[in-house]
């Protein structure tokens, strides 16, 4: 995603933990005395692979070049202690599976084997055995695959040549997927308030998140936010209103009182997130008859949108799995906005979707509008809401569904946001063309087991989501009727 959002002071994007990639390269030590020029060539290839990996926005922990199983065991211990998010084993030539088995077994991280020969093809007329062996990284790959399966180690592989952009694009997807896995493994996810009454699909056992995805769910009360709202000063409120004016077109329907209240709650949300070190937030609170808790519950949208724009996704209606799906797309660089079905347009062949809640401002097609609402549909309270459509072009929907046995599943679909008429009711509506009849797509999407809400992000991301699902041990359903 190209983030075109202007980022004035107060809206700086967070800096997530960098993905940590462990690298070990190797070849069979018996070759070195036989072919003196081979090892220097392979070490040079290993250095180049480390350089390319470092260019994928990750921290590379290079355990060096191993020549036998004892050196492999030493590298395994180094990478185990480094707590890597992905282990890359570079097969520079033939090496025995016993050399990489301990690396795969001890690290606790997903394993990617790369077979990148020096160039596209050998010069057959001039090559001898020593020169050929530098192109022999494919030879041990079936051996590694068989041994790893028998050891109970999951792995994946990429074959190509050292400057093969196709291969490096695949490697880049695995690195990105490892970063998403790490975001969940280290993540702290806030769950504030209570379930929207009657929504059976959004209920999630918080224990299942660390059990299946890793991380921690922090259970929060509406009073955790209320006490922080009460401590926000008038000066802080005015500063937040000034920030909102820079980012939004403020519609005439926004009253000064509602604008100030949304700004005050926004400042308090920032403090809540900081105090509890949250990476995501799902929330809902009903309240009654205009009392403080109802007003706090209705004042989230401005602050939640600003948090989401900074890389801390916030989702309404207590939809924990949706805030996690938004986090996933955000860490892939796709944005990820709170979304549900709104209507089908059979005349234009599009599905209209969005929500009257927090939005990812960085993927808006235009300067977003802040609109005043006398009522939120189906919810208590009143206040300000965000209105825009997602940037036109390719998009991906990503939902985190749940089966009857409690297992999480990823559900995705690729489409294109196209221009056309939109409702002007304070919703983040987008017209999405899935290349088929809107009714057929809606039936297939609903049959996938996706929940009420999902994340809408920019770009076609199914290839990246396939890698994410693999590393996280999740099934992926792609809806493409």
Contact 38, 93 (CB under 8 A): yes
DSSP 300-334: HHHHHHHHHHTT--EESTT-HHHHHHHHHHHHTTS
What is the domain range of residue 164? 19-184
Residue 33's domain is classified under what CATH number? 3.40.50.10940
* Domain match, 249 and 342 both: yes
* Domain match, 380 and 243 both: yes
Query: What is the number of structural domains in the chain?
Result: 2
Query: Residue 275, SS3?
Result: helix
- Write the CA distances from 127 to 31, 95, 131, 161, 332, integer angstroms: 16, 20, 6, 17, 43
**Residue that has been written with the tokens 């190797």 in this structure:** 26
Contact 374, 254 (CB under 8 A): no
Which residue, among 158, 156, 155, 154, has the nearest Cα to 171 in the 3D structure? 158
Of the residues 136, 168, 184, which one is the last residue of a structural domain? 184
Contact 192, 221 (CB under 8 A): yes
* Domain match, 372 and 424 both: yes
Which residue, among 438, 458, 454, 334, has the nearest Cα to 389 in the 3D structure? 458
Query: Residue 449, SS3?
Result: coil
| Global model pTM greater than 0.85 | yes
CA distance 35 to 6: 57
DSSP 97-162: HHHHHHHHHHS-S-EEEEEEESSSS--TTT--HHHHHTT-TTTTHHHHHHHHHHHT--EEEEEEET
Phi, psi (5° rounding) for residue 151?
-85, -5
DSSP 12-39: PPP-PPPEEEEEEEE--TTHHHH-TTHH
* Domain match, 138 and 195 both: no
* Domain match, 100 and 28 both: yes
What is the full per-residue pLDDT of the chain (481 aa) written as tens digits? 556 677 888 888 999 999 999 999 999 999 999 999 999 999 999 999 999 999 999 999 999 999 999 999 999 999 999 999 999 999 999 999 999 999 999 988 999 999 999 999 999 999 999 999 999 999 999 999 999 999 999 999 999 999 999 999 999 999 999 999 999 999 999 999 999 888 888 899 999 999 999 999 999 999 999 999 999 999 999 999 999 999 999 999 999 999 999 999 999 999 999 999 999 999 999 888 888 998 998 899 999 999 999 999 999 999 999 999 999 999 999 999 989 999 999 999 999 998 877 889 889 888 999 988 766 555 555 678 888 888 999 999 999 999 999 999 999 999 999 999 988 777 788 999 999 999 999 999 999 999 989 999 999 999 999 999 999 999 999 999 8
| 3-state per-residue secondary structure call for 70-112 | HHHHHHHHHHHHCCCCEEEEEECCCCCHHHHHHHHHHCCCCEE
441 located within any domain: yes
- Write the CA distances from 66 to 63, 91, 250, 373, integer angstroms: 9, 10, 62, 65
């Amino acid at each position: 995603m190209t983030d075109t959002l202007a980022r004035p002071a107060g809206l700086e994007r967070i800096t997530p933990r960098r993905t940590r990639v462990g690298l070990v390269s190797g070849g069979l030590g018996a070759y070195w005395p036989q072919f003196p020029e081979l090892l220097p060539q392979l070490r040079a290839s290993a250095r180049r692979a480390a350089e390319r990996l470092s260019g994928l926005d990750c921290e590379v922990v290079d355990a060096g070049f191993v020549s036998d199983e004892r050196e492999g065991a030493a590298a395994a211990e180094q990478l185990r202690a480094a707590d890597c998010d992905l282990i890359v084993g570079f097969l520079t030539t033939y090496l025995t599976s016993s050399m990489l088995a301990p690396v795969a077994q001890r690290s606790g991280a997903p394993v990617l084997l790369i077979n990148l020969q020096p160039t596209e093809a050998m010069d057959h007329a001039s090559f001898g055995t020593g020169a050929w062996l530098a192109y022999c990284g494919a030879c041990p790959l079936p051996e590694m695959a068989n041994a790893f399966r028998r050891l109970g180690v999951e792995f994946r592989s990429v074959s190509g040549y050292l400057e093969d952009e196709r291969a490096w694009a695949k490697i880049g997807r695995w690195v990105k997927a490892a970063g998403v896995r790490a975001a969940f493994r280290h993540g702290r996810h806030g769950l504030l308030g209570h379930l929207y009454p009657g929504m059976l699909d959004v209920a999630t056992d918080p224990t299942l998140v660390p059990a299946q995805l890793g991380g921690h769910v922090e259970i929060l009360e509406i009073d955790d936010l209320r006490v922080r709202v009460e401590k926000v000063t008038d000066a802080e409120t005015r500063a937040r209103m000034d920030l909102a004016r820079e980012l939004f077109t403020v519609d005439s329907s926004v009253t000064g009182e509602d604008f100030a209240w949304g700004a005050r709650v926004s400042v308090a949300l920032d403090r809540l997130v900081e105090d509890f070190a949250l990476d995501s937030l799902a929330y809902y609170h009903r309240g009654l008859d205009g009392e403080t808790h109802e007003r706090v519950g209705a004042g989230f949208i401005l602050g939640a949108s600003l948090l989401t724009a900074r890389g801390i996704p916030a989702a309404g209606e207590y939809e924990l799995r949706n805030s996690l799906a938004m986090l996933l797309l955000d860490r892939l660089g796709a944005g990820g906005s709170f979304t549900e079905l709104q209507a089908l347009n059979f005349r234009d062949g599009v599905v209209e979707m969005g929500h009257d809640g927090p939005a990812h401002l960085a993927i808006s097609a235009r300067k977003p509008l802040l609109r005043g609402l006398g009522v939120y549909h189906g919810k208590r309270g009143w206040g300000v809401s965000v209105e825009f459509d997602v940037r036109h072009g390719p998009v991906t929907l990503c939902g985190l569904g749940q089966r009857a046995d409690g297992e999480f599943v990823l559900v995705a679909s690729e489409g294109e946001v196209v221009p056309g008429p939109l409702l002007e009711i304070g919703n983040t509506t987008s017209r999405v063309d899935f290349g088929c009849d809107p009714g057929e797509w809606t039936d297939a999407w609903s049959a996938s087991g996706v929940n009420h809400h999902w994340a809408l992000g920019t770009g076609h991301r199914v290839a990246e989501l396939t890698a994410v699902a693999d590393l996280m041990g999740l099934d992926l359903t792609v809806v493409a009727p």
